[in-house]
Amino acid sequence: MNRAKNIKTNVQPNQHQDAQLPRVSISYWRYHGKAWRAYQLPNGAKFMSDRQMALLVGQPKNMVREFIESRSLETLILQVDNGKAVQVYPLSVAAIYLSTLLKDGDLDKHPLGISRGEWHSLIKALCKKEPGRESMPNPCFFTGDYRVEMASQIQLELGTNISIQILVLQSGEYYIEYQEGLKCIQHHTNWLVNYSPKKARTLSSLKISPDIVECQVRMQKGFQSMYSLSIKDWLSLWEYFAKQKNRYAIALLKACAKSGIDVLIARAIAESELSSWA
């Protein structure tokens, strides 16, 4: 997800005015008649401080900051009207926190007292599409839970001409981004996005998960949001395209079948860790 060019990250806020820091105004993030204070840039992007986010997620401020720091989530420094620098976080960070709390069953006593389905809707609202962001998953099919996960990338070489970028979630699960999984079989990369009842029927027949998993991936400059599917779902999709005579999908499945893609990913991760220690 692209941010303003001159936003500083991972620096300590101070009391002195800094002309290089983007100015923000006080705003609100609203959801179904409820409102939480937030900061807003001139381009409309909204952020929250740890205090503001604590009210949203229903956790103490110190726990919010501990969660964010322990996972090295995106942190920015902005400047309010009086010139004071403030440390803030994108709304997607709140979505990651709520997704984790929901998965661990820690939202049962939240002051909002809403259902799991409503929580997933709120999490999705926090990740509402922003200008310049990729298209949303096909709304005719992807109607399940909405999860936001932190992930790292690993490059997997499956053969002489086959290479795939794998997303490794903090839970240890393996996912592949929509465009990446289609690009490696030379298929249209927008096949999983935008409105299409016909494709929804195909996805349903393949028993693909209707959940939306949005991965926040650390890049050299900031973070990038990626919609992704599990390895299991991709194997089903690649098999579908292989039956459609897609020779790249056929070759990919053959490469996966030799050792098992999970084994190959685990080996690639181990090799990457060894090289980082070298």
Is the model's pLDDT at 18 over the cut of 70? no
Q: Are residues 90 and 205 in the same domain?
A: no
Rounded Cα gap, residues 83 and 24, in angstroms: 10
Average of per-residue pLDDT values in the chain: 87
Q: Does residue 140 sit within a domain?
A: no
3-state helix, strand, coil in the chain (%, to 5): 35, 25, 40
Is the model's pLDDT at 108 over the cut of 70? yes
How confident is the model over 43-98, as pLDDT tens digits?
Answer: 888 999 999 999 999 999 999 999 999 988 989 999 988 888 999 999 999 999 99
Q: Does residue 135 sit within a domain?
A: no
Q: Are 99 and 158 in contact (CB under 8 A)?
A: no
Helices in 80-230 by DSSP H: which ranges?
A: 91-103, 116-126, 178-183, 197-205
Q: What is the pLDDT of residue 20?
A: 73
Q: Are residues 12 and 113 in the same domain?
A: yes
User: Tokens 């604590």 sit at which residue?
Assistant: 54
Q: Are 39 and 86 in contact (CB under 8 A)?
A: yes
Distance of CA 174 to the CA centre of its chain: 13
Q: Are residues 88 and 190 in the same domain?
A: no
- Residue 55, classed as helix, strand or coil, is helix
Rounded Cα gap, residues 168 and 181, in angstroms: 14
Q: Are residues 103 and 207 in the same domain?
A: no
Rounded Cα gap, residues 160 and 7, in angstroms: 41
Q: Does residue 66 sit within a domain?
A: yes
Q: What is the pLDDT of residue 31?
A: 92
Rounded Cα gap, residues 189 and 84, in angstroms: 44
Q: Does residue 2 sit within a domain?
A: no
Is the model's pLDDT at 6 over the cut of 60? no
Q: Does residue 256 sit within a domain?
A: yes
Q: Are residues 95 and 58 in the same domain?
A: yes
Range of the domain at 246: 146-277
- Domain-terminating residue out of 76, 92, 126: 126
How confident is the model over 164-195, as pLDDT tens digits?
Answer: 999 999 889 999 999 999 999 999 999 999 88
Counted domains in the chain: 2
Q: Are residues 114 and 150 in the same domain?
A: no
Rounded Cα gap, residues 236 and 133, in angstroms: 27
Both tokens of 10, joined, read 């991972």
User: Tokens 């998953």 sit at which residue?
Assistant: 137
Q: What is the pLDDT of residue 134?
A: 53
- Domain-terminating residue out of 126, 159, 179: 126
- Residue 118, classed as helix, strand or coil, is helix
Q: Are residues 21 and 102 in the same domain?
A: yes
- Residue 248, classed as helix, strand or coil, is helix
59-69 as b/e: b if 16+ CB within 10 A: beeeebbebbe
How confident is the model over 118-172, as pLDDT tens digits?
Answer: 999 999 999 875 544 457 899 999 999 999 999 999 999 887 688 999 999 988 9
User: Tokens 């240890």 sit at which residue?
Assistant: 172
Q: Which of 64-68, 203-207, 218-222 has the lowest mean pLDDT?
A: 218-222
Q: Is 175 exposed, middle or buried (0-12, 13-18, 19+ CB in 10 A)?
A: buried
Distance of CA 59 to the CA centre of its chain: 22
Q: Are residues 120 and 151 in the same domain?
A: no
Q: Are residues 43 and 122 in the same domain?
A: yes
Q: What is the pLDDT of residue 42?
A: 87
C-alpha torsion sign, points 271, 275, 277, 278: positive
Q: Does residue 136 sit within a domain?
A: no
Q: What is the pLDDT of residue 22?
A: 86
* Most distant pair of Cα atoms in the chain: their distance: 64
Please state at what angle helix 231-243 crosses helix 261-277, rounded to 10 degrees: 130
Cα–Cα nearest to 228, from 157, 163, 152, 161: 152
Q: Are residues 153 and 121 in the same domain?
A: no
Q: What is the pLDDT of residue 276?
A: 63
- Domain-terminating residue out of 126, 159, 189: 126
Q: Are residues 51 and 151 in the same domain?
A: no
Is the pTM value of this prediction over 0.85?
A: no
Q: Does residue 139 sit within a domain?
A: no
Q: Are residues 168 and 267 in the same domain?
A: yes
Q: Does residue 131 sit within a domain?
A: no
Residue 150 sits at φ, ψ, to 5 deg, of -80, 140
